């Protein structure tokens, strides 16, 4: 394997660096997304139950004890609940944008590597072919080993670029698909939260109105 690497010429060194970056990002993203994964239905079921009892503090603490982007945006909404619905929506949008940035971290780098690696391999191919033609011109085609070395460099560099680019492209597609699922759960959870919070605000308003009416009737008596 090392012999094959060295046959690829100097183009193999940047490809090696890109492969290390790809592996590092892939491992880090797998760990992060696994930790961020939350059962949205179960989590929102708990939040729904707590909000239906007007237990806002308990709901906030439940968000604090739960990892993942969904808990983060709901926590942000609860934190701004007393400031009005518009502030809650704004806080959810801001928290959602921040969570999306965290989820998409490193994906752009993988997409860039998947496009750059084949170009580096192609550059190695060109330099390898140049070496072959130089060997043919210098030795008059009488030294097949020198010609073969240049051709080997060209082919190995091309293969090296593809070996790096294909996994990088696959990982970027895989992680974007995962992020898409997170976004869908975040949107559904945000809508659910706003609906439940609206129902709670209506119940509180109706209760306050009944208390005012009862108090007014009592005073008239």
Mean pLDDT of 39-46: 88
Phi, psi angle pair for 152, to nearest 5°? -60, -40
Contact 106, 22 (CB under 8 A): no
Q: What is the pLDDT of residues 180-190, one digit of tens each?
A: 999 999 999 99
Percent of the chain whose predicted confidence (pLDDT) is above 90: 39
d(CA 46, CA 42): 6
By 3-state DSSP, what share of the chain in percent is helix, strand and coil, each rounded to 5? 90, 0, 10
Least reliable range by pLDDT among 33-42, 83-92, 135-144, 169-178: 135-144
Q: Which residue has the higher pLDDT, 208 or 31?
A: 31
Q: What was the pLDDT predicted at 219?
A: 41
Task: Determine if the pTM surpasses 0.75.
Answer: yes
């Amino acid at each position: 394997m090392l012999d094959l690497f060295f046959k690829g010429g100097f183009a193999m060194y940047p490809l090696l660096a890109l492969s290390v970056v790809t592996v590092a990002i892939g491992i880090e993203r797998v760990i992060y997304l696994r930790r961020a994964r939350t059962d949205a239905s179960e989590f929102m079921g708990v939040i729904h139950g707590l909000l239906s009892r007007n237990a806002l503090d308990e709901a906030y603490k439940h968000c604090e004890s739960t990892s993942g982007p969904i808990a983060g945006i709901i926590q942000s909404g609860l934190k701004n609940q007393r400031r009005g619905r518009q502030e809650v929506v704004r806080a959810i949008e801001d928290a959602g944008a921040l969570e999306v940035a965290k989820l998409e971290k490193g994906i752009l780098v993988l997409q860039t590597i998947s496009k750059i690696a084949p170009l580096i391999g192609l550059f190695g191919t060109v330099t390898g072919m140049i070496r072959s033609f130089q060997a043919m011109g210098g030795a008059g085609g009488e030294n097949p080993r020198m010609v073969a070395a240049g051709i080997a460099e060209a082919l190995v560099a091309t293969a090296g670029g593809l070996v790096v680019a294909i996994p990088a492209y696959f990982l970027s597609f895989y992680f974007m698909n995962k992020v898409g699922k997170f976004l869908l759960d975040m949107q559904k959870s945000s809508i659910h939260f706003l609906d439940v919070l609206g129902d709670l605000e209506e119940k509180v308003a109706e209760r306050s109105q009944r208390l005012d009416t009862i108090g007014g009737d009592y005073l008239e008596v």
